[in-house]
Amino acid sequence: MNIIISNTEGIPIYEQIKEQIKAAIFSGDLKDGDLLPSIRQLAKDLQISVITTMRAYNDLEQEGFIVSVQGKGSYVKPKNPELIKEKKLLEIEEHLLAAINASKLVKLSQEELIDMLKFLIEEESND
Amino acid sequence: MTNILELSNLTKKFDSFSLNNVSFSLPKGFIMGFIGHNGAGKTTTIKLILDMLKKDSGSIKVFGKDNLIYKNEVMERIGVVMDSTYFVEEWNLADLEASVSPFYKNWNSKKYNDLLDDFYLDKSKKIKELSRGMKVKLMIAVALSHDADLLILDEPTSGLDAVSRNELMDILSDFITDENKGVLFSTHITTDLERVADFITFINKGEIVYSGTREELLEKYLVIKGGRGVLEPSQRELILGYREHSVGFDGLIEASMLRMMPESVVYEPCNLDDILVRTNMGGNSYE
């Protein structure tokens, strides 16, 4: 896993760490049960304060991405339903966006697109 | 969190200067930057911790123990880097070890020699032949060789070039990868602290004006800029360190007050210098 911090983006450093660890989990770069770098090691490597890294890890733990074991370190939380859901939601969003963009090309109205979606959902449940 | 250093209501009066009710604490496992102008009271505070000056009143606890009652035990576990070396200039680095090591129970000769190698310090060199950056590293090598748990550095970066300052920050971050250790680090160069310090304590005219996490402090304020005449007088009053020039204005604003500002202003995150200058934590206007 790589974490690259930018000081010019205007995004707080702890946010950048959070997002990049999440991205590594989604991409499969970090797998269930993988050990993350220790808070203090990461702070040292990135030349940032311990509190900044702690905040990123605390947020990730609260959001259910990682679990911290006292004295052992932080691990990627195994088989997290929330995490899978978030990943799926992203996928759905992507596909829906593709549908919206395609509908724009043929000048399909919003109502027609929604009707089409409803029709497909009904068809699916009738099967 | 246990505090590695705890000062309460520390007071010391001199004829022309006094340290008034100085209180702050540093939890173990973290780095605290101690910021203030020259003459604000940083060195006096540090000298009181090290019992190089006698306090008038208040208390100092290091590792949870009174620094005077348990003086020997406490001092053994503190590593000190002052703005000039307290070593004899004619000594070479081997003489230095011979002279200093008897004072410490935990002196580790192998570690001292390893650190000198790591820091590219030549044992046969005399202290007076070392550059300022090398002297700082030497003092750190001594502190780490007697297995200090608390490092106290007084203006260690003044006179150091950017490369040496960066190296020093690396050494400090490395030091606190052990969560039982701590660093108190005084400076007037705030960029050193911009990244590695967990806590910031501001001192001005012998009084503490802020002590808390660096993140909290930096998130509290924003730099605000805009054109001339866009602010109502009531809005202008909310701006700290307001400065108007021929083509606009700038200043600092509490993040919570941003909603009171007109849409045309721009704002950006601030740094420690902005806070130091604009809120005049070094002056009188800080509330």
A20-41 per-position pLDDT tens digit: 999 998 888 998 889 999 999 9
Residue A27 maps to a domain:
yes
Say how many domains are in chain B.
2
Interface predicted TM-score (ipTM): 0.73
Q: Spell out the long-range contacts of A92-95 with Cβ–Cβ below 8 A and sequence spacing 24 or more.
A: none
Q: Would you call A48 and B176 a contact, using CB atoms and an 8 Å cutoff? A: no
Q: Under 8 Å CB-to-CB from A11, ≥6 apart: which residues?
A: none
**A40 → closest Cβ in B177, B199, B213:** B177
Asked if the structure places residue B176 within a domain, the reply is: yes
Give the per-residue pLDDT at B286: 37
Answer yes or no: are the C-beta atoms of A52 and A13 closer than 8 Å: yes
B186 falls within a domain: yes
CATH code of residue A52: 1.10.10.10
Where a domain ends, among B179, B197, B214?
B214
Q: Any idea what DSSP says for residue A37? A: P
Q: Give 10-residue mean pLDDT values along chain B (287 residues).
A: 92 94 96 89 94 95 95 93 84 92 92 91 92 88 92 86 85 91 88 83 92 91 91 90 91 90 90 83 47
* A87 and A120 inside one domain: yes
Residue with tokens 């009710």: B21
Residues A87 and A72 in one domain: no
In a domain, B115, yes or no: yes
Q: Are B205 and B233 members of one domain?
A: no
Residue B80 lies in a domain: yes
Contact A55 B215 (CB under 8 A): yes
Residue B284 in domain: no
Q: Give the one of A10, A44, A55 whose C-beta lies nearest to B269's C-beta.
A: A10
Same domain? For B85 and B121 the reply is yes
Domain residues for the domain of B131 are 3-214
Please report the pLDDT score of residue B65 as a whole number: 95
For residue B269, the chain A residue with the least C-alpha distance is A10
For residue B171, give the nearest of B187, B192, B200 by alpha carbon. Answer: B192
Asked whether residue B70 falls in the same domain as residue B135, the answer is yes
Q: Nearest C-alpha of chain A: how many angstroms from B214? A: 9
Residue B182: what pLDDT?
Answer: 96
Query: Do A72 and A92 lie in a common domain?
Result: no
Domain-terminating residue out of B185, B214, B243 = B214
What is residue B13's three-state secondary structure? strand
pLDDT for position B62: 96
Q: How far apart are CA B32 and CA B186, in angstroms?
A: 8
Question: Does residue A56 fall inside a structural domain?
Answer: yes
CA distance B192 to B33: 9
Nearest to B195 among A10, A41, A49 (CB): A49
> Is B269 found in the same domain as B139?
no
* Beta-carbon contacts below 8 Å between A and B: 45
Query: In Å, how far are B58, B110, B184 from B48, measured between CA atoms?
Result: 11, 32, 14
Taking a C-beta distance cutoff of 8 angstroms, is the pair A24, A1 a contact? yes
Contact state of A51 with B213 under an 8 Å Cβ cutoff = yes
Structurally, chain A folds into a number of domains equal to 2
Q: For residue A3, is it within any domain? A: no
A4-20 pLDDT, tens per residue? 888 777 788 999 999 99
At B281 the pLDDT is: 67
Q: What is the pLDDT of residue A77?
A: 87
Distance CA B279, CA B286 (A): 6
- List B11's β-bridge partners, or say none: B57
Tell me what pLDDT residue A70 has. 84
Domain boundary among A76, A95, A114: A76
Any CB–CB contact under 8 A between A16 and chain B? no
Q: Tell me, yes or no, whether A89 lies in a domain.
A: yes
Q: Is residue B60 part of a domain?
A: yes
Distance from CA of B26 to the nearest CA of A (A): 13
Q: How far apart are CA B87 and CA B102, in angstroms?
A: 15
Task: Give yes or no: residues A95 and A122 share one domain.
Answer: yes
Residues B162 and B237 occupy one common structural domain: no
Q: Looking at residue B285, what is its pLDDT?
A: 40
Secondary structure percentages of chain A, helix, strand, coil, to 5 = 60, 5, 30
Same domain, B48 and B134: yes
A55 at the B interface (CB within 8 A)? yes
* Interface touch A47/B179, C-beta < 8 Å: no
Q: Say yes or no: A115 and A102 in one domain.
A: yes
B156 in the same domain as B124: yes
CA distance B79 to B99: 16
- Cβ separation B215–A52 shorter than 8 A: yes
Q: Same domain for A60 and A105?
A: no
Residue B235 and residue B187 share a domain? no
* Residue B287, in any domain of the structure: no
- A112 shares a domain with A96: yes
Judge whether B228 lies within some domain. yes
Is A49's CB within 8 Å of B177's CB?
no
Select from B31, B219, B269 the Cβ nearest to the Cβ of A49: B31
Domain co-membership, A67 together with A94: no
* A48 min Cα distance to partner chain B (Å): 5
Indicate the residue among B164, B196, B214 that finishes a domain: B214
Question: A107: domain range?
Answer: 81-126
pLDDT by residue (tens digit) across A62-94? Answer: 988 899 988 889 999 886 667 777 878 888 999
